[in-house]
Amino acid sequence: MELNEIISQMDNAAEACGLPYCLCSADGKPLHGSSCDLDYIRPSYYEYALLDFRLQKRDAAHPLALLFDIGLFTGIAQLSDEMFLIAGPVGPFSKKRQDLMQIFRPIAQPEKLVRLCDFLMTLPTFSLRKFYAAFSLLIFLGSGRNVSSSDLLLSNSPMQPTPEGDASDELFQTRETLAYHTDLGFEEGVCAALEAGNLAELNACLNRPVSGDVGMMSANPMTQTKYTFISFATLLTRAAIRGGLPQETAFSLSDVYCQQMDRMFDPSAINALTYQMAVEFCKRVRECRAGRRYTSAVQKCVDYIDKHLHESIRVKDMADLCGLCTRSVSIKFKEETGLSITDYIGREKIREAKYLLANSDYTLAEISACLQYNSQSYFTQKFKEACGMTPQKYREASARNK
């Protein structure tokens, strides 16, 4: 496929999902940009991004995702020996113009700063899961290489490039002072406990005194607290996936907690939510690890249902995935789970609905549509049959018990 055709496909994909991107040469020279003029950004920004990519020892098969400054995701991937992809920056929350101007003043061309910030304000918000999906799609279109979330390294960006001075010198000095940040043993202990579903050990890690502090991501204490939460949520999400929690479940759980955090303005409340999030991730991993082991075919069906719970699920698709006929899959599924495929899907949808009702602000109509019910009234009927109360009553009861 010709390069122009590849770029056209990438432009179409980026436009559809709202993720801006730039293609640059191996020495950081911008070659092509989507949605936003390349001359909005100082050339040193691209050089800095590729420098961090190399210092993190990433390669073509292992892209880098940076949590840049105050919670903006930037993806860096090597498409070929001569070309790199830089995607973003985008983030999980809408930002005010003055906040964006503070972030991008050192990065933008001075005369283009306002126009750049106005452009960024028009971009949709990106959860970590959505960012991974869009970034991976652009990598595939640009290189033909499939990249999973486990291939990406998500790292806090330890510096913000400045218009004066040598970015490589500043990056080196910043990395040299990382000893003053939170001890790496804390993260390793939390991850090990979570991956094992060991709640007692997780509590011990979270309550054990820790030397150092998290890196400075914002001069604003409230913003610093929020983006520390995002960093920790990302850490927990990846550890939970490694521990066996289905990827879709882990990302959905992270999204819900980040949405709850975004509505808070009390640091102590956010700290309490951080602990609650860690405990819930650990409990879910423990339940998953203690669950019954299925044969390969039925496990594929269970994973498929979990991943596509917000879509229309057909038995034929699962049968094709397992290499069996629909009748054989249905019989094996019922024998091992004790439920028909239809009943199992219905149970899982009710479980997901209960979680969304208790932990999100989605309306009943939105939850009904998200879980592929034919109508809100049908959703209410099925929920009441399963739980003995309407979805609204369940939401009110959950709120009282918090």
* pLDDT tens track for 239-250: 888 787 877 788
CA distances from 301 to 247, 320, 341, 344 (A): 15, 10, 9, 11
Per-residue confidence (pLDDT) for residue 264, from 0 to 100: 86
Q: What is the pLDDT of residues 54-78, one digit of tens each?
A: 877 888 998 988 775 556 788 999 9
Render the burial of 90-129: b for 16+ CB within 10 Å, e for the rest: bbbbebeeeebebbbeebbeeebbeebbebbeebeebbbb
Higher pLDDT: 212 or 141? It is 141
In this predicted structure, the answer to whether residue 342 has a pLDDT above a threshold of 90 is yes
Q: What pLDDT is attached to residue 322? A: 92
Does the domain at 298-401 match CATH 1.10.10.60? Answer given as yes
84 closest CA partner among 124, 44, 25, 31: 25
Q: Is the pLDDT of residue 111 over 80?
A: no
What 191-196 contacts at long range (C-beta under 8 Å, 24+ apart), as own/partner pairs, is 191/235, 191/238, 191/239, 191/242, 193/282, 194/236, 194/239, 194/240, 194/243, 194/278, 194/281, 194/282, 194/285, 195/239, 195/240, 195/242, 195/243, 195/285, 196/243, 196/285, 196/289
The answer to whether residue 51 scores a pLDDT higher than 70 is yes
Label residue 181 by pLDDT band (50, 70, 90). very low
Confidence of residue 105 (pLDDT cuts 50, 70, 90): confident
Domain boundaries along the sequence of the chain: 3-175, 179-290, 298-401
Residue 175 has pLDDT above 80, yes or no: no
294 against 284, higher pLDDT: 284
pLDDT at 83: 93
Least confident stretch, 166-170, 299-303, 379-383: 166-170
**Of the spans 277-291, 354-368, 379-393, which averages the highest pLDDT?**
379-393
Please say whether the beta carbons of 87 and 74 come within 8 A.
yes
Range with the poorest average pLDDT among 26-40, 174-188, 326-340: 174-188
pLDDT score, position 53: 84
Reported as a pLDDT band with limits 50, 70 and 90, residue 225 is confident
pLDDT at 378: 94
% the chain with pLDDT above 70: 83
pLDDT over 90, % of the chain:
21
pLDDT, position 392: 93
Higher pLDDT among residues 177 and 26, named by residue: 26
| Separation CA 172–CA 166 (nearest Å) | 10
pLDDT at 184: 54
Q: According to the model, what pLDDT value does residue 187 have?
A: 77
Please say if the pLDDT value at position 221 is more than 70.
Answer: yes
At residue 291 the predicted structure's pLDDT band, cuts being 50, 70 and 90, is low
pLDDT at 391 over 90: yes
- pTM of the entire predicted model: 0.45
The mean pLDDT of 272-278, rounded to a whole number, is 90
Please state, rounded to an integer, the average pLDDT across all residues of the chain.
80
pLDDT for residue 265 is more than 50 = yes
